Amino acid sequence: MATLYEQLRADIVTAMKARDAAASLALRTADSTIQRASMDLSKPIDDALVISTLRKGVKNLADANLEFEKGGRADLIAANKAEILLLEKYLPKQIDGAQLEALVDAAIKETGATTRKEMGRVVGALKKRPEAGLIDFAAASKFAQAKLP
């Protein structure tokens, strides 16, 4: 089975052959960002690096959409949403809802946290879990804040 990076590279070729300018630009940008991250970290390109790099890219695009909404730029919002949908194809589905709340509860019990001052330990425990790559830590932090006095 091909790695995420190999799949991304194959999709770049497919998009270029189909003359899909928007998709090929988005995928080539993602490719260069992944290569840059690999050089910066002096690590070979693996699935973990691809996922973390693409997550950062999707987050940056989502943040940019908020700014574009303030400026009334619907054209740029639509372009960013299309790029986000394209990049999310390469990302595993994140844990959300009741499953995330159960993980946060387990981390609170595991660490014995009783106040919000101990939230760092809860988040640290979540980061050590095997499914840490699938956790949205912003949402997990909100669950922890709601549960801790």
pLDDT tens for 1-16 read 468 899 999 999 999 9
Distance, in Å, from the CA atom of 52 to the CA atom of 111, rounded to the nearest integer, reads: 26
43 CB neighbour count, 10 Å cutoff: 11
Q: What is the pLDDT of residues 52-109, one digit of tens each?
A: 899 899 989 999 998 998 888 888 888 999 999 999 898 888 777 788 888 888 888 8
Report the 10 Å Cβ neighbour count for 70: 8
Longest dimension (CA), the chain: 57
Ordered by where they begin, the domains of the chain are 4-88 (1.10.1510.10), 97-147 (1.10.10)
